[in-house]
Chain A
C-alpha cells in the first residue's frame, strides 16, 4: 500500500521454481528515496545479490520496474525497466523499454515484478489483475518476437472468450539460445541492451502478458493536468522535440556526427564515413519513411515506420544506422532496415550485434580469426544474424560478444566495448567527455548511462569536444539528472527541452557561442551543485520533472532533491556492482580510443581517460579505487555493504 499517487502500491516476488507469488516489502520511504524504475531495481538487487550469483544461475534475479508516472498519462512516461545480472557484462545492468508492457503491468495493479528461480520447462506467464497463471510455452517456444506476441494474444483471447487488451514482453530465439546480448521485446520496442532476454531464456521464461482494469490515482488531478498541458505544448514547440525528432527521428544525427567526426566508421578506426549520405536520417525519411509512430502517451513520436517485404515495421535508430552503416562500411539502407527488423524479431540488441560483427570483420582482416566476414561485404549478414540467434557455426561464437571473442582470439585493442558492453555509434575521440562516460558508466559502454555528454560536445550544443576541462563534473551531473528522469518512467528525449531553444535555433549567435565557450569552465560551479544539490531547493519551468512528481505523485520534490535521487541511484548500482568485482580497473576503453589519435596529425584527438577518471571519482566523492566508500553511501542513506 502507498499514500502516494502514481503508484499501485504492490511489488511482487515471483519464484519460478516453486511458482510461489508473494508481496515484496517496498515502503513509501523506499519510494521517496528511489522513486521507481532503475533505482528501485538497483536497490532490490543491492538488497538481494551477494556477489556469488551467476547470470544464468537460478539465483539470479530479474526486476521489471515501472515508474510512478507510468500509466498516468504524463508525457512520454510509459517506459519500464528490466534489471538483472547481465550475461554480457557479468555485473548488474538494466535495459529500458518504451513498449506497452509497463503500462499494462500497472493496469494489473503491480509497480514492479521480481523474478527468481527457474521454470522446469518453457513457460509463459499471465498476470490478470494481480493474479498469476503459469502456461506451458511449448507452442510459443522458438517463435520470433512478433509471432510469439501474436500467439500469446490469441491464447489469451481464446481463454477469455474475447479480445483482451494486454501488454506482452517476450523473448525471441536469441534469448532462448542464451545469446549474451539477447533483448526483451514489447510490441515493437526492445529492452535491447545487456542481454536481459538471455536471462529470461535461462529461466525458461518465454513471455509475460499483463492486463487489468486498475489505474493509478493522481495526487492533484487539476494541477497535474494544467502542468501537463503546458509541458506538452513546450515539447511540441521546442525545435528538437517538436521538429527535429518528429521529422527525422534519432537518425537525423548521422549527418551532424559525420561533420563533427563522431560517426563510428570501420570499427571505430575513423570518425567519418565517405558513404554517410546513403545511410543518413535524411535518406531514411526520403526513401523509406511510411509514417511516424510513438510510444504510449508520447507527443514526440520519433519512431520511423518503414516497409520491409511489404510489411510496415519499426525503422532503425541512429545507433543501428551508424553501427550497421559506416562501422561495417555498408551503404545499403534497405539492408539496414531489413536487419533492424530481423534483429528485433530474433530478439537481439542491434548495438552489440553490430559491434561484435565489426570486431569480427577486423579480426578476420588482421588474420586473428578466419571467419569469412569482411568490411563492406554485407549481402549474407541476414544469415549471420540468424546463425547468431540459433548459435550455429560462427554465429555460436559471435553470440558471446566482442570482449569474450577478443579474449579468445586477441584483438582487445580494437574490441570497442567497456565492461563487456559494446559502445553505441558515437566515436568519442572528438567528444572526450562522452568517452569518459562510456568508460565509467555503471552498465558498461552505454551512451546514455554514461551521461551523454556528446549532446553538449557537438550535437545539441557546440562545446569543445577535445578538452577534458570540466567534463568530469558535467558527466556526473548529466548522469544523475538522466538517471532521475528515467526513474519516473519518462523517456530521456523529453530532456532535450532542457537545451535552451536559442542554442538550437541560433547556434551561430554571440550568446550561443559564449555559452559553448563558457561551459567547460563551469566545472567548479557544477561541482558545488554535485556536492550539495540541496542548494537548488526550488523548481524551474525548464526542468518540469519535479513539478510532475509533485502534482501527480505528491512527493515534495525540487531540483536539488531530484538530482540527489539520481545520484543515489547511480551509487547504489555501483555498490552492488562492486560485489561483482567492479572497480576503477574496469572503467576503461579499448586502446584504439585512448592511445591512437583519430587524426594522426592531432594528438588531442584521443580520449585522455585516466586524467578525467581521477577527477570524476573525486567529483563523485568516491575512493581512489573508483567505489563509493561507507561514508559516501551513508550520506546517501544507503546501508553499507
Chain B
C-alpha cells in the first residue's frame, strides 16, 4: 500500500488531496489516480495525459515516472510550476 498525494493545479482542479492505493510502480498508479479523481468528481477535466505530464517524487525525492514502488512509499504528483 502506498500513499498518493496530489499537489499544485492537479489538486486544485481535481479536489483530491490524498489517498491510498496498491501499485508496483508509478505508472501503475495513473489509472488509480484517475479513478479516484472521477470518483470524487465525475465531471473532472483532469485527463490521463495531464497526469502523465506530472513530475513525480517518492519519499521526498524526484524520480522518473518509471520508478518502482514499495509498500509504505509516499508518492507526490505535481505539475511543473514557475515564478515567485
Give the B-binding residues of A (Cβ under 8 A). Answer: 239-240, 243-245, 247-248, 250, 252-253, 255-256, 258-260, 272, 277, 280-282, 285-286, 317-319, 424-425, 447, 455, 459-462, 492-493, 496, 499, 503-509
Residue of B nearest to A256 (CB): B81
Contact A255 B55 (CB under 8 A): no
Contact of A259 among B11, B60, B79, B82 (CB under 8 A): B60
Shortest distance in angstroms between A424's beta carbon and chain B's nearest beta carbon? 8
What separation, in Å, do the CA atoms of A505 and B80 have in the docked complex? 7
Given A256-B8, A282-B8; A244-B60 close (CB under 8 Å): no
Shortest distance in angstroms between A528's beta carbon and chain B's nearest beta carbon? 26
Contact B84 A317 (CB under 8 A): yes
Q: Could you give 17 example pairs across A and B, Cβ below 8 Å?
A: A239-B79, A244-B8, A244-B81, A252-B9, A255-B8, A255-B78, A259-B60, A277-B5, A318-B84, A425-B84, A459-B80, A459-B82, A492-B83, A504-B81, A505-B80, A508-B54, A508-B65
Give the A-binding residues of B (Cβ under 8 A). Answer: 5, 7-9, 11-13, 17, 52-55, 57, 60-62, 65, 76, 78-84
Chain A residue numbers with a CB within 8 Å of B9 are: 243-244, 247-248, 252
What separation, in Å, do the CA atoms of A286 and B14 have in the docked complex? 12
Contact B78 A259 (CB under 8 A): yes
Chain A residue numbers with a CB within 8 Å of B84 are: 250, 253, 317-319, 424-425, 447, 459
Shortest distance in angstroms between A326's beta carbon and chain B's nearest beta carbon? 13
Residue of A nearest to B10 (CB): A282
Contact B80 A252 (CB under 8 A): no
A-B contact count (CB 8 A): 101
Chain A residue numbers with a CB within 8 Å of B82 are: 240, 244, 253, 455, 459-460, 496, 499, 504
Chain A residue numbers with a CB within 8 Å of B79 are: 239, 244, 504
Given A248-B9, A272-B60, A282-B12; A253-B55 close (CB under 8 Å): no
What separation, in Å, do the CA atoms of A250 and B83 have in the docked complex? 6
Shortest distance in angstroms between B15's beta carbon and chain A's nearest beta carbon? 9
What separation, in Å, do the CA atoms of A318 and B81 have in the docked complex? 12
Q: What 13 new A-B contacts, CB under 8 Å, besides A259-B57, A259-B60, A507-B55?
A: A245-B83, A247-B13, A248-B9, A250-B84, A256-B7, A258-B60, A281-B8, A282-B12, A286-B12, A460-B83, A504-B80, A507-B80, A508-B52
Chain B residue numbers with a CB within 8 Å of A492 are: 83
Contact of A508 among B12, B17, B55 (CB under 8 A): B55
Chain A residue numbers with a CB within 8 Å of B11 are: 282
| Central interface residue in B7, B12, B54, B82, by most chain A CB within 10 Å | B82
Contact B53 A505 (CB under 8 A): yes
Q: Would you list the 5 A-B pairs with minimal beta carbon distance, nearest first?
A: A460-B82, A250-B84, A318-B84, A255-B7, A259-B57
Shortest distance in angstroms between B42's beta carbon and chain A's nearest beta carbon? 21
Chain B residue numbers with a CB within 8 Å of A277 are: 5
| Central interface residue in A260, A282, A493, A499, by most chain B CB within 10 Å | A282
What separation, in Å, do the CA atoms of A285 and B14 have in the docked complex? 13
Residue of B nearest to A317 (CB): B84
Shortest distance in angstroms between B77's beta carbon and chain A's nearest beta carbon? 10
Contact of A507 among B5, B53, B61, B76 (CB under 8 A): B53
Shortest distance in angstroms between A303's beta carbon and chain B's nearest beta carbon? 13
Chain B residue numbers with a CB within 8 Å of A425 are: 84
What separation, in Å, do the CA atoms of A247 and B10 have in the docked complex? 11
What separation, in Å, do the CA atoms of A247 and B9 have in the docked complex? 7
Chain B residue numbers with a CB within 8 Å of A258 are: 60
What separation, in Å, do the CA atoms of A369 and B39 have in the docked complex? 55
Chain B residue numbers with a CB within 8 Å of A255 are: 7-8, 76, 78
Residue of B nearest to A505 (CB): B53
Chain B residue numbers with a CB within 8 Å of A282 are: 7-8, 11-12, 17
Contact A506 B83 (CB under 8 A): no
Chain B residue numbers with a CB within 8 Å of A286 are: 12, 17
Chain A residue numbers with a CB within 8 Å of B81 are: 240, 244, 248, 252-253, 256, 459-460, 504
What separation, in Å, do the CA atoms of A111 and B34 have in the docked complex? 54
Residue of A nearest to B65 (CB): A508
What separation, in Å, do the CA atoms of A247 and B15 have in the docked complex? 13
What separation, in Å, do the CA atoms of A493 and B60 have in the docked complex? 28
What separation, in Å, do the CA atoms of A285 and B83 have in the docked complex? 17
Contact B78 A256 (CB under 8 A): yes
Residue of B nearest to A504 (CB): B80
Shortest distance in angstroms between B29's beta carbon and chain A's nearest beta carbon? 14
Contact B83 A493 (CB under 8 A): yes
What separation, in Å, do the CA atoms of A281 and B79 have in the docked complex? 13
Shortest distance in angstroms between A397's beta carbon and chain B's nearest beta carbon? 30
Chain A residue numbers with a CB within 8 Å of B12 are: 247-248, 282, 285-286
Contact B80 A503 (CB under 8 A): yes
Shortest distance in angstroms between A354's beta carbon and chain B's nearest beta carbon? 15
